[in-house]
A and B are shown apart, each in its own frame.
Chain A
Amino acid sequence: MVCSLHHEGVVNPAKSRIRVVGWEEEGVYVPLSCQQCDEPFCEKVCPVKATYRDEKTRAMLVNHDLCIGCRSCIMACPFEGPALDPEAKKILKCDLCGGEPRCVAFCPTSALKYLQPTSAMLEKKNSAFLRRIRMLRVKLTKPLLVKG
């Protein structure tokens, strides 16, 4: 909600740069947004070179004056990063809000965080480790969960 409000001045998840894909019945939700790749496909496929890297935040941005709306970047991206604005027919892409992402500010559970790549990697490793520990404990106290 806050993404579309901040960038477009309307509250409309269809215009959000971050999208959540969910399986309600399974209780699984995955946020999808631009990964700000080091070697971005969106940059490579853009026929008019409208995609460029911001010096300050290292985010990949789109120059809307150059963009011709061909949607090549949407097709090329493996992470569902760019999306098309259904109304204005322009590309919507995460710009990291100039270094202070609003989605992170409004995430109550810290499921979203804004970190340097190295510390993000460390955190991922940590959480994987904790998950592992938790699984082991589950195995010991709740044998029914484990099949076979």
Chain B
Amino acid sequence: MWGWAGKILKVDLGHGKISMEPLSKPFARAFLGGRGFNAKFLYEAKAWRVSSPYSPENFVVISPGGLVGASPSASRTIISSPRSPANSLFGSESIGSHWGSELKWAGYDMVILYGKASKPVYLQIEDGDVKIRDASHLKGKKVREVAEILREEVGDSKAKVLAVGPAGENLVASASLVSGFRRSTGGCGIGSVLGSKNLKAIIVRGSVGVKVAKPDELERAWEEAYHKLLESPLSKLWSAYGPTWLVKAFKENGSLPTYNWQQLPLTTPERIHFLLEKYWLKSVACTGCALHCDRYYLVWEEPFKGLRGAGIDYDFLSLFTSNMGDLKPREILYINSLLSELGLDAAQTANWISVMMHWWQDGLICEEDTDGLRFEWGNFEAVAETLRRIAYREGFGNLLAEGIFRFAEKLAERKGLPAEKLKRYIIHSRGLPILWEVRHEKGAALACFTSTFNPPSLNTELWLQCKTPEDFIGLPREVAEEFLKLKLQLPGRYEGKAAAAVFLEDCCAVYDALGVCRNHTAWAGQPLGLEELAKEFSAAMGIECGWMELKKAGERICNVERILLAKYGFDRMNDYPPPRLLEEKTPRGALLEKAKYDAMLEEYYERRGWGKNGIPAEGKLRELGLNELAEDLKGGR
């Protein structure tokens, strides 16, 4: 098999059994890798029957994207589980860094983890040699320490470690998996699913590599994509400033959430550039990446003298710097290091804390409920202490660790308030945090609340200045022409946005399935579009494939995920924004209007070929070659 590694690794932690299966080629071709593999696997395993996140029958699927290890732009791995602790739905998160490519080079396209180990263990993968080893000595250890100990233990300083921190062991609903001490996964809380299975870490070393069909052609495709990427003006911003430039740009166009979506003015984003320049040591990249948007930092001032870390991304910056009020730059760095040490997800945890602060502002909680911590906006001590209490489940952190919804319910009970009043403050999309303001950008709102993957997002404002089809960077010409006709550059317009949402969601499904970093792609206004990826895909896999075919694969993935959602009992009712976004205007006067949103949703379903209830129609599924799903749907959900 070319391009893919061709093997699936199954690990039964309960019985300590390890088995390997070949990857089926038609399956690989239809679902590409990463997100596609996971979605189809969850469907085939009847994921919706799993009762609780922490039961031994719950499992975790880890798949590096199809092009991971075979393209410099691809380094992402998608990790999914049938019941995520954060929202009790199927959850998928992604992680960059070097871990996924190492797994691919070790020869695996998927790792599936079942059962529950009787004592703490870690998994060691070294090409064909896979061992489950005792991890009693790692219990309670922080992520960075775990990586250090494991590398020493296996005697390989270049081995890549993906570990669960104390938060995962203590079953916190926002626990993440951290690679090295840099990158961590999204907000579904899969870290605690692994924690419940007593799996502390996975350490990988690969020397098998990926065999490709046409090396010369692939090298040319790489080079072409690489030069396009380096010449793009946005790449220069990513390389020079990392994700901080995005924070500044979003502040200017009003997309940055502040004070839990109240959109009050604040000053931190202006200081963010300064933050980096002052403390950064060196920029650092994931495997093969030319953008190198990440930074190592070292704080040389009291009170955090000697603080080191990396892995600052937009998710973290937006929700921790602005949505929580004004925090000082070095406090932000301290929080980032603390999060990755404890193994907590930034976006989800930040969302919880900013809701707490909002409650505090409106007098709904007091010191009694928070063990004496004062949740004023930008109160660094409260934030840092809360993170610690959540991770170790101390005091009020014990309840908050189960998620903000559960906390709101219990609080309402204690205070004699209606729970809805408290839950109203939580801005989310199916229980997961959203990362930017969507009220002024209607297309972003639609994509955000209909998307089947975390984190949901779309930004048509990228095309604000587009006057000709060539201005749409990274989009195939036909698509650009259509977009130009639909005038969807105008953020306040509802009409035509469904077309962009459908197209970009399909594209994003392709990027996630191939493991390509979204910051390289048309989704982020970068030149790596479906056409370039189709070239790399064809050369690596030896399957002639145009961009239309790739897009169709993306659509297939979205449809499988949508069917999965339907199986969990989700339909049109769950595609709406939370009430606050429909009722409260931003200071700039933007608001989502229910009736117009409804019309937009209607158009979206129509373009997708789905029924009025938001469930894929039989015809659509057959068109995508998903006959078994169509049959299954006939029998009702």
A106 closest partner in B (C-beta)? B226
Cα of A10 to Cα of B281 in the assembled complex, Å = 34
Given A11-B70, A24-B180, verify A1-B288 contact (CB < 8 Å).
Answer: yes
Cβ-defined contact, B300 with A144, below 8 A? yes
Q: Does B210 make an interface contact (CB < 8 A)? A: yes
Within 8 A of B (CB), among A110-147: 142, 144-145
Q: Mark B423-443, 1 if CB is under 8 A from A, else 0.
A: 000000000000000000000
Cα of A13 to Cα of B70 in the assembled complex, Å = 11
Cβ-defined contact, B222 with A106, below 8 A? yes
B144 closest partner in A (C-beta)? A25
Given A5-B218, A142-B300, verify A106-B72 contact (CB < 8 Å).
Answer: yes
Cα of A71 to Cα of B182 in the assembled complex, Å = 37
B239 closest partner in A (C-beta)? A108
Residues on the A chain within 8 Å of B300, using CB: 142, 144-145
Cβ-defined contact, A10 with B211, below 8 A? yes
Residues on the B chain within 8 Å of A142, using CB: 300
Cα of A113 to Cα of B69 in the assembled complex, Å = 24
Smallest CB separation, A117 vs chain B (Å) = 27
Smallest CB separation, A141 vs chain B (Å) = 10
A108 closest partner in B (C-beta)? B290
Cα of A102 to Cα of B308 in the assembled complex, Å = 34
Residues on the B chain within 8 Å of A105, using CB: 223
Within 8 A of B (CB), among A7-51: 9-15, 21-25, 27-28
Q: Does A72 make an interface contact (CB < 8 A)? A: no
Task: List the 7 shortest-distance A-B pairs measured between CB atoms, nearest first.
Answer: A12-B209, A27-B296, A14-B207, A108-B290, A9-B215, A11-B210, A10-B209
Cβ-defined contact, B207 with A12, below 8 A? yes
Residues of A within 8 A of B (CB): 1-2, 4-6, 9-15, 21-25, 27-28, 86, 102, 105-106, 108-109, 142, 144-145
Cα of A19 to Cα of B573 in the assembled complex, Å = 53
Partner of A24, one of B181, B226, B230: B181
Cα of A12 to Cα of B288 in the assembled complex, Å = 12
Residues on the A chain within 8 Å of B292, using CB: 108-109
Residues of B within 8 A of A (CB): 69-70, 72, 105, 144, 147-148, 157-158, 180-182, 206-212, 215, 218-219, 222-223, 226, 230, 239, 281-284, 287-288, 290-292, 296, 300-302, 305, 308, 310
Cβ-defined contact, B209 with A14, below 8 A? yes
Cα of A15 to Cα of B148 in the assembled complex, Å = 26
Cα of A37 to Cα of B162 in the assembled complex, Å = 40
B290 closest partner in A (C-beta)? A108
A interface secondary structure, majority: mixed
Residues on the B chain within 8 Å of A11, using CB: 69-70, 105, 209-210, 212
A7 closest partner in B (C-beta)? B215
Cα of A13 to Cα of B69 in the assembled complex, Å = 9
Given A1-B72, A106-B72, A142-B300, verify A10-B210 contact (CB < 8 Å).
Answer: yes
B161 closest partner in A (C-beta)? A24
Cα of A21 to Cα of B284 in the assembled complex, Å = 14
Cα of A93 to Cα of B283 in the assembled complex, Å = 29
Partner of B284, one of A27, A86, A108: A27
Known: A24-B182, A25-B147. 17 other contacts (CB 8 A): A2-B222, A5-B212, A5-B219, A9-B211, A11-B105, A12-B210, A13-B105, A14-B206, A15-B209, A25-B308, A27-B284, A27-B310, A106-B72, A106-B226, A106-B290, A108-B230, A109-B292
Cβ-defined contact, B212 with A25, below 8 A? no
Would you give 25 A-B contacts (Cβ < 8 Å), ordered by A?
Answer: A2-B72, A6-B215, A6-B219, A10-B212, A11-B70, A12-B207, A12-B209, A13-B209, A14-B105, A15-B209, A22-B158, A24-B147, A24-B180, A25-B144, A25-B147, A27-B284, A28-B282, A106-B223, A108-B226, A108-B239, A108-B290, A108-B292, A109-B239, A109-B283, A144-B300
Residues on the B chain within 8 Å of A108, using CB: 226, 230, 239, 290-292
Partner of B281, one of A1, A24, A27, A109: A27
Query: Which of A1, A9, A86, A105: most chain B Cβ within 10 A?
Result: A1
Smallest CB separation, A22 vs chain B (Å) = 7
Residues on the A chain within 8 Å of B305, using CB: 144
Cα of A9 to Cα of B305 in the assembled complex, Å = 48
Residues on the A chain within 8 Å of B301, using CB: 144
Smallest CB separation, B418 vs chain A (Å) = 49
Residues on the B chain within 8 Å of A27, using CB: 281-282, 284, 296, 310
Residues on the A chain within 8 Å of B302, using CB: 144
Query: Which of A2, A6, A15: most chain B Cβ within 10 A?
Result: A2
Cα of A144 to Cα of B300 in the assembled complex, Å = 7
Smallest CB separation, A135 vs chain B (Å) = 14
Cα of A6 to Cα of B219 in the assembled complex, Å = 7
Residues on the B chain within 8 Å of A1, using CB: 72, 287-288
Partner of B215, one of A5, A21, A106: A5
Cα of A86 to Cα of B39 in the assembled complex, Å = 35
Cα of A28 to Cα of B296 in the assembled complex, Å = 10
Residues on the B chain within 8 Å of A102, using CB: 219
Residues on the B chain within 8 Å of A14, using CB: 105, 206-209
